[in-house]
Structure 1
């Protein structure tokens, strides 16, 4: 495992940095095959460009969500987004995924066959915020929906919940426009809490236990129930605040000019 990490670490360095003699020697010392040598020479520049394009696509989508978050906060006095995380898949992950599918390693193969190279995760306060933000994003005329998987309404067997969207977004380069795919995941805080811990507990651990699986599923269901309860409490608070807001509105309406003087 350590050797594997060293190999892919060297490849990542090579792909993301100018090739120097010392770096080239390190890579070819650890990967002393003609096939890898030829692959790196052939794909280095196109790969770097493609990863940069995916990063640009993430910037475009992230900006869209930040604008929606700001606009929502002005209209509703709260932010629907708790946090935003982005990532571009590592070379190791890309290679492993292509190998699992018996696909060649090339920029064309990556673009045509993998839809989750660029990923953005939106952590929301409430379940309703997820669907609100997703609808707002998909209504934008430069966003094309490629695939939608609703694991909130239809959770995975292990209890995983999230809304997954594969969208295509344009990036504008010096002399052209290029459409790029981005995977969008929208979750509540509770969904993200469960998914993150479940991943840490089970990632690359070959443990088969029906009881552990059942316990994790139970935790997921309890988290989902908590989401629904918090949503209900939020709605109840909004109902209680409504008469107060109307009363304030009536008072302001009857003031001279409808505006409260700063000295009053």
Structure 2
């Protein structure tokens, strides 16, 4: 059954309760990611996650998104058509960390992966790169269990730097930036990709050199 319909049929149809669920889901997924990172450090002496950012979409942003999609501003539409109300951004050092972490998240038996969008292998026209996973996590209340959606974005430090500045630039132009701005941003996105690749190669070279020294 569709998660949104499950929420609505379960009598959870007021704004405060729905936002409580999204906040709870954010805490659950954030804790899982921290534990996965700690376990990786414990076993491999290496942390794939540099830092984690969590956020709940503001009411204004939710309404704007619904209007862009041609939907009325109702709680049901919000749950149905806004998959990024609860969002977690996971920032890694290298591209390889992204796919390793995505695999670890997918293996969690109490998370359900609803969809995956790989904007690293298939970047957006703007040059945007990131790995998106839409998951549901069960929120255990006193009298029921509610599956709630969380969007996880996984990217490198360089990708996050580019995406953050791109968002600020387009916000200033209200989404209608001049052509030369968009062109320069795409050029910068290519530079970021080259940087990520070179840093990954450098890290691999360092690891190989270290292994040879230990032998």
Q: What is the TM-score of this pair, normalised by structure 1?
A: 0.73
The 1:230/1:112 distance shift into structure 2, 3 A limit, reads: same
The match for 1:163 is 131
CA distance in 1, matches of 2:18, 2:106: 24
Task: State the shift of 1:204 in Å.
Answer: 4.3
The match for 1:47 is 15
Task: State the shift of 1:82 in Å.
Answer: 1.0
The match for 1:56 is 24
Task: State the shift of 1:66 in Å.
Answer: 0.3
Q: Report Cα offsets for 1:212-245 as digits up to 9, x if no partner.
A: 2221111111111100111111111111111344
Q: How many residues align?
A: 202
CA distance in 1, matches of 2:66, 2:192: 34
Determine if the alignment matches structure 1 residue 187 to structure 2 residue 146: no
Task: State the shift of 1:100 in Å.
Answer: 2.3
Counterparts of 1:12-161 in structure 2, within 5 Å, are 46-161=14-129
Unpaired segments ≥5 residues, structure 1:
1-44, 248-264
The match for 1:28 is none
Larger Rg: 1
CA distance in 2, matches of 1:156, 1:134: 20
CA distance in 1, matches of 2:180, 2:81: 36
Determine if the alignment matches structure 1 residue 230 to structure 2 residue 209: no
Secondary structure at 2:149's aligned position in 1? strand
Task: State the shift of 1:114 in Å.
Answer: 1.6
The match for 1:210 is 179
CA distance in 1, matches of 2:165, 2:180: 17
Is the Cα contact below 8 Å between 2:170 and 2:177 reproduced in 1?
Answer: no
Secondary structure at 2:14's aligned position in 1? helix
The match for 1:261 is none
Of 75-84 and 99-108, the range deviating more from structure 2: 99-108
Aligned-residue CA RMSD (Å): 1.5
Secondary structure at 1:203's aligned position in 2? helix
CA distance in 2, matches of 1:159, 1:57: 30
CA distance in 1, matches of 2:141, 2:177: 49
More helix by share: 1
Secondary structure at 1:180's aligned position in 2? strand
Unpaired segments ≥5 residues, structure 2:
1-12
Q: Report Cα offsets for 1:19-75 as digits up to 9, x if no partner.
A: xxxxxxxxxxxxxxxxxxxxxxxxxx8100100100000111111110111111122
Secondary structure at 1:238's aligned position in 2? helix
